[in-house]
Amino acid sequence: MKYPPSLVALIRELSRLPGIGPKSAQRLAFHLFEQPREDIERLSGALLDAKRDLHTCPVCFNITDADRCDVCSDPSRDQAMICVVEEPGDVIAIERSGEFQGLYHVLHGVISPMNGVGPDRLYIKALLPRLNTATEVILATGTTVEGEATALYLQRLLEPLGVNLSRIAYGLPVGGALEYADEVTLGRALSGRQQLNSARPVPPVPGKVRQSQERGDDDDNGGVTVPAQ
């Protein structure tokens, strides 16, 4: 039995999508075949509309359909902080967490020698002029080897520029048990531990980090880590 060419073409196009293998593509094609014409036209139109309307924000390279993206054009966001992420989807993940009120910078990739992606293929150069107004850059690329390499590259690039640099924390996921953490992560969770209080009666030991500031709340989110000596 030969498949009709337009079925073959549809399965081929669907199987180009990430995470959709040939069998899933075939299943999707048969599913689409059963749907009413309006549904197919709406999906087809949504694809074209999105391609026509959407582009990257010229400031932060997030996805937008306007001159500037919704974050960049919001004056209530903290203009002094820039969170550098790999992809537009990371912006959404962080926005959902509700923990960040600053701006973003989307690299659209990671440095990956294996895939021939060097720093010049990412939106890194456009980050530099933004440091005139920003005072802290959070390197929120992933903790994969390539995300780490990209963060290290940015750290070396930005350090001389006198900007506060930080890296998202390594550690245990919320809801995790120690015995299921890999040992590298566990080591990081220990060395990056968050101080919960300052031990007031203990005098500072020379050559060691001490935290003498008063804290108005117990929230360890805003806590301070101490070095793992």
Q: Which of residues 125-154 bind a copy of itself (CB under 8 A)?
A: 135-136, 138-140, 142-145, 147, 152
Write down the residue that tokens 């994969």 correspond to: 144
Q: Which is nearer to a copy of itself, 52 or 129 (CB)?
A: 52
- Give the Å distances, CA to CA, from 159 to 107, 137, 138: 18, 10, 12
Closest CB 147 distance from a copy of itself, rounded Å:
7
Residues 200-219 that bind a copy of itself (CB under 8 A): 200-202, 207-209, 211-214, 218
| Nearest Cα residue to 65 out of 54, 75, 74, 57 | 54
User: Which tokens go with 78?
Assistant: 């903290």
Q: Interaction with a copy of itself in 158-197: which residues (CB under 8 A)? A: 159, 162-179, 181-197
Q: Residues 12, 58, 67, 133: which binds a copy of itself (CB under 8 A)?
A: 12
Q: Whose Cβ is closer to a copy of itself: residue 129's or residue 162's? A: 162
- The encoded tokens of residue 183 equal 């040992």
Residues 68-107, interacting with a copy of itself (CB under 8 A) = 69-71, 74, 78, 83, 85-100
* Strand pairing report for 194-195 and 164-167: unpaired
Residues 6 or more apart whose CB falls under 8 angstroms from that of 77 comprise: 71, 101, 102, 103
CB of 177 to a copy of itself, least distance (A): 4
Size of the site for a copy of itself (CB under 8 A): 141
Our finding on whether 15 is near a copy of itself (CB under 8 A) is no
Q: Given CA atoms 73, 79, 85, 90 in this order, what sign does their dihedral have? A: negative
- The footprint of a copy of itself on residues 18-57 (CB under 8 A) is 18-19, 24, 26-34, 37, 39-54
Residues ≥6 apart with Cβ < 8 Å to 148: 141
What's the min distance (Å) between Cβ of 125 and a copy of itself? Answer: 19
